Amino acid sequence: MKRFQNQFYFRIGAILAIALLSGCNTTYEMEVDAITNPAVNDAESYVIVPRDPETDINDLRYKETVAYIKTALSGKGMYEALSAQDADMVVEVDYGMEPPRREFKVVEEPVFATIQQPDRIQTVSQRDPKTGRVITYTVRVPGARSRELIGYQERLVSVIVNEKYMELTAKENLLEQSGDIPAQEIWSVRVKNYDENDDLREYLPIMAASVADYVGEDTGTNHSVRLKEKDEVVQFIKRGINKKPEADAFPSEG
């Protein structure tokens, strides 16, 4: 029983420690899939366009996302071209959140039992106030009852999962050319997150930070990435939108 108690206290301590840390530095789990074209390795300047031509490029959420992406690309030595004609590549941007879906997962739950300690016999002495004689007798004292951990059981629970995503695809710049020749793809990075959080805006800089590490790389398959809010790359992405070069991304209205 003591072993189970020690195991229980250890798990409770770990949970509390994680809770305290997560309150200060949330951990985000990302899934990254990146490919690159080794035949093209000298493209540095870019122009950003939305993948969906109906996207409102004046939308503040879009501008905020583009600012994060520009900062991420700057970390790879890339820069925004002064004009579309001068750009080495066109970077198509797509981001959003899929409709929520229900999934099932297995969780561990503690199992407790009520433990009844054995009764004990106690000797009691009491003086008779009339005769002054001391009377000694025994009484049965019920054993204490307590709830103690006896193990863990698995339970299947239903959760709502929200899939957030961001995808960047760089293609050779054919914006000023006519014809039906498709643009050659240079590199592509797709980032996904699956959890119960439905706040897309919170995840945009995190996904952009994931992109920053994999632009021009080839993961071969989906790669798992864990980032914390206070990681240097995440802070770099967030600081980027406040720098002077990004100030035009948020013009004053009116």
Query: Is residue 15 in some structural domain?
Result: no
pLDDT at 201 over 80: yes
Give the position of tokens 């005769």: 131
Query: Is residue 61 in some structural domain?
Result: yes
pLDDT at 12 over 70: no
Query: Is residue 201 in some structural domain?
Result: yes
Residue 208: how many other CB atoms lie within 10 Å: 29
Q: Domain range spanning residue 176? A: 28-105+155-249
Query: Is residue 115 in some structural domain?
Result: no
The pLDDT, as a whole number, for residue 42 is 82
For helices 200-214 and 232-240, angle between their N-to-C axes, nearest 10 degrees: 110
CA distance 93 to 243: 21
Query: Is residue 159 in some structural domain?
Result: yes
The pLDDT, as a whole number, for residue 121 is 87
Q: How many domains does the chain have?
A: 1
- Indicate the length of the chain as a whole number: 254
CA distance 226 to 206: 10
* CB-based burial, 168-180: b 16+ in 10 Å, e otherwise: bbbbbbeeeeeee
Residue 203 near residue 28 (C-beta atoms within 8 A): yes
Across all residues in the chain, what is the average pLDDT?
83
The pLDDT, as a whole number, for residue 79 is 93
User: What confidence tens digit (pLDDT) does each residue in 221-249 have?
Assistant: 888 999 998 899 999 999 884 554 443 43
CATH number at residue 50: 3.30.160
Question: How many CA within 13 A on the CB side of residue 57?
Answer: 9
The verdict on pTM exceeding 0.85 is no
Residue 81 near residue 123 (C-beta atoms within 8 A): no
CA angle (83 as vertex; 190, 254 as ends), nearest 5: 90
The pLDDT, as a whole number, for residue 144 is 87
Query: Is residue 143 in some structural domain?
Result: no
Query: Is residue 85 in some structural domain?
Result: yes
Nearest residue to 15 via CA among 103, 114, 107, 104: 107
Query: Is residue 190 in some structural domain?
Result: yes
Nearest residue to 64 via CA among 245, 244, 238: 238
CA distance 29 to 182: 35
CA distance 103 to 135: 70
pLDDT at 251 over 60: no
Strand runs (DSSP E) across the chain, as ranges? 27-36, 45-50, 79-80, 89-97, 101-116, 120-127, 134-141, 145-172, 185-195, 223-228
Both tokens assigned to 188: 């592509």
User: What confidence tens digit (pLDDT) does each residue in 139-178 have?
Assistant: 888 888 888 888 898 888 888 999 999 999 999 988 766 6
